[in-house]
Chains A and B, each alone.
Chain A
Amino acid sequence: DAGITQSPRYKITETGRQVTLMCHQTWSHSYMFWYRQDLGHGLRLIYYSAAADITDKGEVPDGYVVSRSKTENFPLTLESATRSQTSVYFCASSGAGDYGYTFGSGTRLTVV
């Protein structure tokens, strides 16, 4: 199906473990983004990518790693999960010059 999909939808992991959140889009959009949503903070940008093999830090990148070897995929990895990374994570994509994003349904991550 066309669109932007995130997996898993829910994830519980232990402190110190590595976890990867997946994001896949079918529009060949140039731009992809990862946000985290926390109460009282709205959405904060973690990392973004303007094209395959081009990534850059956002507002809150510490503890996260991204890669973009293919245009359609933009995985987010927590190298060593901490409780402060418990959050809802949203992936989004946008075509160059489109302005305004299309969002995935989110991944609710709990770190225990």
Chain B
Amino acid sequence: AQSVTQPDIHITVSEGASLELRCNYSYGATPYLFWYVQSPGQGLQLLLKYFSGDTLVQGIKGFEAEFKRSQSSFNLRKPSVHWSDAAEYFCAVDLNTDKLIFGTGTRLQVFP
């Protein structure tokens, strides 16, 4: 079945540690790819997006993501996590239909 998978429901890291959040998709063609962040009680904010071209995408707040066609993945990374990064992160795809399909999210907890 076509889907967006975020295999990690909950991740805990120490402040200053590196972070990688995983996202895989299962669609025939390469979709447009997005990462969003949701702070508690807030709406979703776009971190970055990939349409084509350079497979390493830079976003806001020091985040980056790498598209790997061979693995159908679009993992989100940050070299050094800050306590303010604690939030829920959603991967999403657009199959050129102007509609986003979301993964189930990964909750990030940051310890001091």
A43–B90 contact, CB under 8 A? yes
Enumerate chain A residues within 8 angstroms of B104, measured Cβ to Cβ: 40-42
Instruction: Tell me if A's interface is mostly helix, strand, loop or mixed.
Output: strand
Size class of the B contact interface (CB-based, 8 Å): 20 to 34
Size class of the A contact interface (CB-based, 8 Å): 20 to 34
In the assembled complex, the CB of A110 is this many whole angstroms from the nearest CB of chain B, namely: 15
Given contacts A99-B49, A100-B34, contact A90 B99 (CB under 8 A): no
Given contacts A42-B105, A43-B90, A99-B51, contact A90 B44 (CB under 8 A): yes
Q: Does B71 contact A (CB under 8 A)?
A: no
Q: Does B45 contact A (CB under 8 A)?
A: yes
Q: How far is the CA of A58 from the CA of B90 in the complex (A)?
A: 19
Q: How far is the CA of A106 from the CA of B40 in the complex (A)?
A: 11
Enumerate chain B residues within 8 angstroms of A74, measured Cβ to Cβ: none
Given contacts A100-B34, A103-B45, contact A31 B98 (CB under 8 A): yes
Given contacts A99-B32, A99-B51, A100-B34, contact A42 B44 (CB under 8 A): no
A45–B99 contact, CB under 8 A? yes
Enumerate chain B residues within 8 angstroms of A90, measured Cβ to Cβ: 43-44
